[in-house]
A and B are shown apart, each in its own frame.
Chain A
Amino acid sequence: MAEARAESLAVNDWAGGVHPYRVGHRKLGMWLFIMSDTLTFAALLVVYSYARASSVAWPKPFPFSPSIIFSTTMTLVLLSSSLTMVFAVAASKKGKRGTARKWIFATMVLGLTFVVLHMMEWNHLIGEGLRPFELPAEWLEPHAWPGASPLFGSTFFGITGLHMFHVLTGVIYLGVVAARIKKLNDDVEVAGLYWHFVDLVWMFVFPLIYLLSVDYHGVIKP
Chain B
Amino acid sequence: MVESKTREIKALNLALLALAGLSLAVAVWDVASDTFRAGTDDVFLVLVCLMLALLFAIPPMMWAYSNGMLKNPFADEAGDEGGAAVQTEAAHETHGGSNRENIIVWGGLLALTAIEVFLAYIQIPTTLMLIILMGASIIKAALIVAYFMHLKFERLSLILTIVPTIVALLCLFAVLFPDSFRARNLRPAEAVQQVEHE
Chain A residues within 8 Å of B, Cβ to Cβ: 4, 7-8, 11-14, 20-23, 31, 35, 38-39, 42-43, 46, 49-57, 64, 68, 72, 75-76, 79-80, 82-83, 85-87, 90, 142, 146-147, 189, 192-193, 196-197, 199-200, 203-204, 206-208, 210-212, 214, 216
Cα distance, A220 to B141, chains bound together (Å): 32
A23 and B154 form a contact (CB under 8 A): yes
Tally B residues with Cβ within 8 Å of A: 66
Least CB separation from A201: chain B residue? B141
Asked whether B144 lies within 8 Å of A199 as measured between CB atoms, the reply is: yes
Q: How far is the CA of A200 from the CA of B113 in the complex (A)?
A: 12
Q: Is the CB of B103 within 8 A of A196?
A: no
Across chains A and B, which 4 residue pairs bring their CB atoms closest together, nearest first? A54-B183, A53-B180, A207-B133, A54-B180
**What B residues does A49 contact at CB under 8 A?**
177, 180
Q: Give chain B residues whose Cβ lies under 8 Å from the Cβ of A20.
A: 157
B63 adjacent to A56 (CB under 8 Å): no
* Contact of B181 with A14 in the complex, beta carbons under 8 Å: no
Partner of B192, one of A38, A56, A189, A192: A56
Could you tell me which B residues sit within 8 Å of A by CB distance?
Answer: 59, 62-63, 66, 81-86, 89, 97, 99, 102-103, 106, 109-110, 113, 116-117, 119-121, 123, 126, 129-130, 133-134, 136-137, 140-141, 144-145, 148-150, 154-158, 161-162, 165-166, 169-170, 173-174, 176-177, 179-181, 183-184, 187, 191-192, 194-196, 198
Pair B102/A146 contact, Cβ less than 8 Å: no
Q: Judging by beta carbons under 8 Å apart, are A204 and B137 in contact?
A: yes
Given A49-B180, A200-B140, output 5 extra A-B contacts at Cβ < 8 Å: A31-B162, A50-B180, A86-B106, A197-B149, A212-B129
Q: Are A21's CB and B173's CB within 8 A?
A: no
- Chain B's interface: helix, strand, loop or mixed, by majority? helix
Contact at B141–A50, with CB atoms within 8 Å?
Answer: no
The reply to whether B155 and A21 contact each other, CB–CB distance below 8 Å, is yes
Interchain nearest-CB distance for A64 vs B (Å): 6
Tell me if A82 and B148 are in contact (CB < 8 A): yes
19 A-B pairs whose Cβ atoms sit less than 8 Å apart in the complex: A8-B66, A8-B83, A8-B85, A12-B85, A21-B154, A21-B155, A22-B158, A46-B176, A52-B180, A53-B177, A68-B117, A86-B106, A142-B198, A147-B194, A147-B195, A203-B137, A203-B140, A207-B137, A214-B123
